[in-house]
Amino acid sequence: MFQIQTPHDIYYFALALLMSLFMIILIPRDDIKRLFGVSFVWGYFGSFVFVIALGGLLQLFSWQQTAFTFLNSPFLLNLAWVPAVMLYLYFLPKANVLFWLYLVTFSLVSAGLDSIFNQLGTLQYINWSPVARFFVAIVWFLGATLHLNYLSKKKITIY
């Protein structure tokens, strides 16, 4: 049924575990509840749509198939983006100048992870690069920020 492919499955699991531990350690429980919905939308679904659209449809890159792959998208990797987006949203700076620096920094980290997974052999570049990932990440995190700001203004919570 499931066939673990070491080390690829281990890399995805390790990232998901590491991001979850950071989230649990750094974010208070009430804020985890408050940010979960937006983080799930932009973390899990955002990552899933990103992989399906850019990897599957446009064939810019491909992920190694693992025991936990769904529609050519690594489930655990997509899941790891939930706590990552939650960390991003929790530590958002209020000052406009700091926000743009924070957004660029978080997008660079995303591009760095992309490069690491490529070097580990779990992500194969076809017509892709960490630079492309950087620009996609800017849009992705900006979208998550605007979504959270909209929900906060309207006093809407997603649980």
Report the domain count for the chain.
1
Give the Å distances, CA to CA, from 89 to 60, 63, 75, 108, 144: 28, 27, 22, 16, 8
- Which domain covers residue 84, as residue numbers? 8-153
pLDDT at 147 over 80: yes
pLDDT at 136 over 50: yes
Note the pLDDT of residue 6: 60
Indicate the pLDDT class of residue 157, thresholds 50, 70 and 90. low
94 located within any domain: yes
Please check the confidence at residue 100 and state whether its pLDDT lies above 60. Answer: yes
Alpha carbon distance 85, 148 (integer Å): 11
28 burial (CB, 10 Å; 0-12 / 13-18 / 19+) is exposed
pLDDT at 1: 44
Structure tokens that stand for 124 in this block: 């194969």
Q: Is residue 1 part of a domain?
A: no
Q: Is residue 159 part of a domain?
A: no
Q: Does the structure show a pLDDT above 70 at 4?
A: no
Give tens-digit pLDDT for 75-90.
Answer: 888 999 999 999 999 9
Tell me, yes or no, whether 3 lies in a domain.
no
Burial class (CB in 10 A: 0-12, 13-18, 19+), 49: middle
pLDDT level of residue 121 (50, 70, 90 thresholds): confident
Query: Residue 111's CB: how many other CB atoms inside 10 A?
Result: 20
Q: What is the token pair recorded at 44? A: 């899990």
**140 touches 46 (CB < 8 A):** yes
Residue at 95 is within a domain: yes
CA distance 40 to 21: 16
Q: Is the bond preceding 93 in cis, omega lying within 30 degrees of 0? A: no
Facing residues of 69 across strands? 74
